Structure 1
Amino acid sequence: MAQPAPIPRLRRSTLGDDVYETMTALIMEHTLAPGDRVNIDSLARQLEVSATPVREALARLESDGLVRKRALAGYTVSPLLTRQEFMDMFDMRILLESAAARWAAQRATADARDGIVADAAPEAAPAAPDSDAWRAHAAFTTLDAAFHDRIAQAAGNTLLRDGIVRLHAHLHIHRLFFPYAQAGTTADEHRRIAAAIAAGDADGAETAMRDHLTLARERHLGGFARPH
């Protein structure tokens, strides 16, 4: 079995965020594997920090759904989604995000429309990653999440946006499997959604988002055929 990459030293100026980002990467790369118990003192020693920023990071990771806390047992890394949980999550995404796209087409300000189009533009796409490590793919995940969140925000319904954010879909999906070879297809689908929103085409935006998420679900199902 390949040895995990060494944990990098952290910059003290942004310590809390650095600890959170490093621990997120360790979970996404399965260095901290599903079901592993998180030893706070051991992690703090490896990261060369006190236990406080590690505990703060764990609280954020619990909110993200990446770790679970049990009374008297501490934190453990959350299990991967089952196939049924994955399907249920996409059902919710299709329901919520299709509505968000429709409302964004109807309600978005001119600045919001411009931002959505800019996020979907080819020049906004990051360079193709050169490894399978989570850190190499983080830019793709960040851009994908930002595009969907911008649409949810433009929909003008805070409760709807909160519901989408709380799914933490991008973290769970990318932790399971992400078909980066098809990133260009995803980008094309994003541009179709953005064009419909920019044109104020509510029906077109809703359909484009539903089609995108339906196709994305099929692409990501490959994760269940891979060993973890």
Structure 2
Amino acid sequence: MASTKPSRLRRSTLGDDIYDVLRARILEHSMQPGDRVNIDALARELEVSQTPIREALARLESDGLVRKRPLVGYTVSPLLTRAEFTRMFEMRLLLECAAARWAAERATSGQRAAISAEAATSIAQEPDDAGGWRWHAAFTTHDARFHDLIAEASGNPLLRDGLERLHVHLHLHRRYFPYAHAGTTIEEHHRVAEAIEAGDPDAAEAAMRRHLTEACERQLTAFD
């Protein structure tokens, strides 16, 4: 996959631009898990000094996307092990089931409509999309947005922030997502959205629990 590079970095937001570029490369696997980050090469490529590169890497380290090791420097974080992946879903079950319940109780009419609209989003594959990579990227964006809308509607910013950090690690595994089961995922999203739209917290929590439990089982096949 081609690396992500803006045609021109805006000097007023240089640090944010570089952070966004490097984050996208990591999540797209242009920078592979385990790769060493060459700060000198990045500075030359992006035509900036090393300072904003190091600042961006410090932010990415906080996100858990890179690691800093003595005498080695920064490397891209490895993919989660099967045990780590399972523990991540255990945390998602705790947080996202609560988020769905609270969204059903607290969401505004606008937030309910946005969740339902996202669940109803149809993503068609383009004829020239060899391998379906653009479709995969669009579906990944849709899935992340759906879950984030629910977290936002929960009315708890700390919960939403915690989920965002968990989802960063999930994104690293997106290449191995069982896209053949995307239709099942969409159906599960519909059930969650319908319960939130109806203001039924018990049904929303149950639908989210079922969705995450089955999603975890589907994605664990990547470790086989």
The TM-score with structure 2 as length reference comes to 0.84
Measured after TM superposition, the shift of residue 132 of structure 1 is: 5.3
Measured after TM superposition, the shift of residue 164 of structure 1 is: 1.6
2:8 to 6, 11, 25: 11
Query: 1:199-218 counterparts in 2 under 5 A?
Result: 199-218=198-217
Aligned residue in 1 for 2:125: 128
Measured after TM superposition, the shift of residue 72 of structure 1 is: 4.8
Amino acid at match of 2:192: I
Aligned partners of 1:5, 1:146: CA distance in 2, in Å? Answer: 24
Instruction: Encode CA deviations 1:152-196: one digit per residue, 9 max, x unaligned.
Output: 111122332232222134323315x11222222211111110110
Question: Structure 1 stretches of 5 or more lacking a match?
Answer: none
Aligned partners of 1:119, 1:140: CA distance in 2, in Å? Answer: 11
Q: Is the Cα contact below 8 Å between 2:192 and 2:208 reproduced in 1?
A: yes
Aligned residue in 2 for 1:64: 63
Q: Is the Cα contact below 8 Å between 2:33 and 2:77 reproduced in 1?
A: yes
Aligned residue in 2 for 1:93: 92
Aligned partners of 2:177, 2:131: CA distance in 1, in Å? Answer: 10
Between the two proteins, the alignment pairs up a number of residues equal to 219
Aligned residue in 1 for 2:137: 138
Amino acid at match of 1:193: V
Amino acid at match of 1:128: Q
Q: Is the Cα contact below 8 Å between 2:3 and 2:30 reproduced in 1?
A: no
**Structural RMSD (CA):** 2.6
Q: Is the Cα contact below 8 Å between 1:196 and 1:202 reproduced in 2?
A: yes
Aligned partners of 1:136, 1:20: CA distance in 2, in Å? Answer: 25
Q: Is the Cα contact below 8 Å between 1:120 and 1:187 reproduced in 2?
A: yes
Aligned partners of 2:218, 2:197: CA distance in 1, in Å? Answer: 27
Aligned residue in 2 for 1:27: 26
Q: Is the Cα contact below 8 Å between 2:116 and 2:194 reproduced in 1?
A: yes
